Amino acid sequence: MSESVQLPVEPGSDGRARRWAGQRDSRRAQVVDAAIDAIQQYGPDVSTEQIAQVAGMPRPRLYRYFDGKEDLRTAVVTRAVELLGVEAIGLLKPRGSVMDYIDGSVRSLVSWIDRHANLYWYIQSDATSESAAYQNYRAALALHLTTLTELVADELGLERKVTPTLIYGLIGMVESSIGHWVDNRDELTRDELTENLVRWIWSIVAGIATHAGNTLDPDSTLGRSR
């Protein structure tokens, strides 16, 4: 039996590969940020040529860092999830009353979508239930109301298993309302939209409390028993 032959490994090749991978990841992140800037500038139908222009590189070079247009889209949505998650960090620890928290959550979402309207429509333009990136985006939206619904459920003695349905129901209402407002800003001011959404969410939460045989005070402090 012949012995296997091991090919010599060029000294330092592993280090060069790691450096190249790091440089590629860094450049990829820069292109994603440039893509978001291009979307904000040119709108949700932005072309790869426009993205390449903002990124400061020829279009063919753009795909040295991505496996096609869908890979770029996924990376953009993933970055949007990170940005949206940063907005939600302050909401994960409850402060103030139930109404304060609802108001803060809604204002955070309205503000983010208002400031990233073109990015919002870019994400929505290819929204599918099969897209892992889009589902992560939906989960990032849900973070804005997760703490509220879980604490209310605990306060009312509701099973935690009902909270995901409630969260996504509320998020669906809020997101759809904001999306409509973004395209019809003459109907309401931003403050009017926010106040309406806060009032509607409170009505739903208070209705759940009543159905459970409880009364929820809008001025009660969230998590006071913890």
Backbone dihedral angles phi then psi of residue 15, each to the nearest 5 degrees: -65, -40
Q: How far is CA 77 from the centre of its chain?
A: 8
When comparing pLDDT for 150 and 35, which is higher? 35
Predicted confidence band at 32 (pLDDT cuts at 50, 70, 90)?
very high
Mean pLDDT of all residues in 42-57: 94
Domains of the chain from N-terminus onward: 13-66 (1.10.10), 73-211 (1.10.357)
- Average pLDDT score over the chain: 83
Per-residue pLDDT at 1 exceeds 60: no
Q: Is 97 helix (H, G, I), strand (E, B) or coil?
A: strand
Predicted confidence band at 84 (pLDDT cuts at 50, 70, 90)?
confident
Mean pLDDT of all residues in 67-81: 89
Residue 134 corresponds to which tokens in the numbers above?
């889009």
Q: How far is CA 47 from CA 18, 53, 196, in A?
A: 32, 10, 36
The pLDDT assigned to 31 comes to 94
Mean pLDDT of all residues in 188-200: 96
The pLDDT assigned to 30 comes to 93
Residue 137: which residues within 8 A CB-CB, separation 6 or more?
77, 80, 81, 84, 123
Nearest to 55 by CA among 76, 72, 33, 71: 33
Per-residue pLDDT at 11 exceeds 70: no
Mean pLDDT of all residues in 61-88: 87
Mean pLDDT of all residues in 158-171: 81
Measured distance CA(139)–CA(128) in Å, rounded: 14
User: Which range scores top for mean pLDDT: 88-102, 103-117, 128-142?
Assistant: 103-117
Mean pLDDT of all residues in 50-71: 91
The CA angle 85-89-95, to the nearest 5 degrees, is 145
Predicted confidence band at 16 (pLDDT cuts at 50, 70, 90)?
low
Q: How far is CA 4 from CA 1, 10, 186, 203, in A?
A: 9, 19, 76, 74
Measured distance CA(55)–CA(32) in Å, rounded: 9
Per-residue pLDDT at 38 exceeds 90: yes
For tokens 């973070």, what's the residue?
Answer: 143
Residue 87 corresponds to which tokens in the numbers above?
């907005």
Mean pLDDT of all residues in 27-31: 92
Measured distance CA(220)–CA(200) in Å, rounded: 18
User: Which range scores top for mean pLDDT: 58-72, 156-170, 178-192?
Assistant: 178-192
Nearest to 145 by CA among 173, 124, 121: 173
